[in-house]
Amino acid sequence: MPKLFLLGIDGLPRWMWQQFADSGVMPNSKALLSSGTLVPMKSAMPEVSSAAWASIVTGEDSGGHNVYGFTDLIDGSYTLAFTSSRTFRAKPFWQREGAGPSLIMNVPQTYPAQPLDGMLVSGFVALDLNKAVYPAEQLPWLEDLGYSVDADMSLIEKGKADFVAELHKVMKIRCDALHHHWDREDWQQIMFVLTGTDRLNHYLWEDYEDTSSPHHQAYLDFYHEVDAQIGRILGRLDDNTTIAAVSDHGFAAQKMSVNLNCLLSQNGYLQLRESNRPSYIDMLPETRAFAMDPGRIYLHREGRYPNGAVKAEEAEELLGKLTNFLLTTEVNGQKIADEVHRGPDIYHGQFAHRAPDLVVLPAKDVALSGRMNLTEVIESTPINGKHTYTESSFFVRGNNLGQIPTDMKVENVLDVILPQAQAVRRAA
């Protein structure tokens, strides 16, 4: 029997989980939530899954674990690269000394799979199942099962019914794999993440909000099946196991996607040389600032970037102007930002120097894009649900827990569920 079971439910807002539990959509969750403590939790800043999950499993913010988004520029260059498990500069809890045998499945930001005492199957962004499994001898069984590193997102183009069917199929296979490997060994800790909830929320949020939608019931049915899988897991755990459940961010309606680089270009902050496929390498020395997904703003600093020309003594005035610009700009009569934060105020650790200069939290109904697209301020997208910084879920039930902070954040999860291990790590 594991001592810890950490369940991830990607993108499940705290208020929605409680609402579905109370309304009967998620009856197993009703019993679970009444047996422990459920609180709202703040995501990573910005509210991007890669950074949030990295914080959940390391107990650090981005300045400590070095993951700021799904992509980043390689230091001293304009080369864009995906972040991965190799980007981590803080050990996840299962790789720490004394962690014990661990079964880790479908946790984002763990690709390619790294060695551990136990078994790991990477979550998104995972490009190849062959590199997503440790130890490698477990790969053939997963292949025979039809295990997928992600749902086929292109099916949304065929229609929402086909897309939801795909989410059901992927979830069932992953849950079957969990229970198969659970039976193989006496694991000290298990972490398993359901990601179909995030995909569903991105593409069917409008159907959740519109009770007359023909897909509204399909939305509820998916969460009912998620709850059935939660019940299946709970049936295998005893009272001596610490049970925790987390989501990496909340969710809300998305009615407009605003391209920050296009806005920066239109207002003289970003200048590119002519290119058929513009990218960061096309930035001219005259560029003062640029954006990366989802709301990261970087000054084009001298010394940090090959053609950077923003001097240190200019930075403060420029940051003030950018902050005012972002907070006052409207698109189609709607403001685009609720808050703008300085990087040094929100990141801590030895990699905080790599942080964005500003982080923009979007306004209601607005999502922020950092694509190098200078032709459309408002981007066309089938996505109608967006991440939120507030209202991710944190639930815990068990003994010998740490205190839940009043201002609970993703980087506090390990302090609550593994307080002794965290204290030893910090002392070291």
| pLDDT given at position 324 | 98
Domain ranges of the chain: 4-251+388-427, 256-379
Which superfamily, per CATH, for 4-251+388-427?
Alkaline Phosphatase, subunit A (3.40.720.10)
> Which of 107, 84, 85, 127 has the alpha carbon at shortest distance from 194?
107
| pLDDT given at position 373 | 81
Task: Report the mean per-residue pLDDT for the chain.
Answer: 96
pLDDT less than 50: residues of the chain: none
| CATH no. for 256-379 | 3.30.1360
| pLDDT given at position 420 | 83
Domain 4-251+388-427 identical in fold to domain 256-379: no
Q: Distances from the Cα of 111 to the Cαs of 68, 87, 132, 266, in angstroms?
A: 16, 10, 6, 37
| pLDDT given at position 428 | 67
CA-CA-CA-CA torsion sign (172, 178, 179, 184)? positive
| pLDDT given at position 376 | 93
How many residues in total does the chain contain? 428
| pLDDT given at position 397 | 97
Percent of the chain with pLDDT over 90: 94
The structure tokens 């929402």 sit at: 160
| 365-385 confidence digits (pLDDT tens) | 999 999 998 889 999 999 999
| 290-320 confidence digits (pLDDT tens) | 999 999 999 999 999 999 999 999 999 999 9
| pLDDT given at position 382 | 96
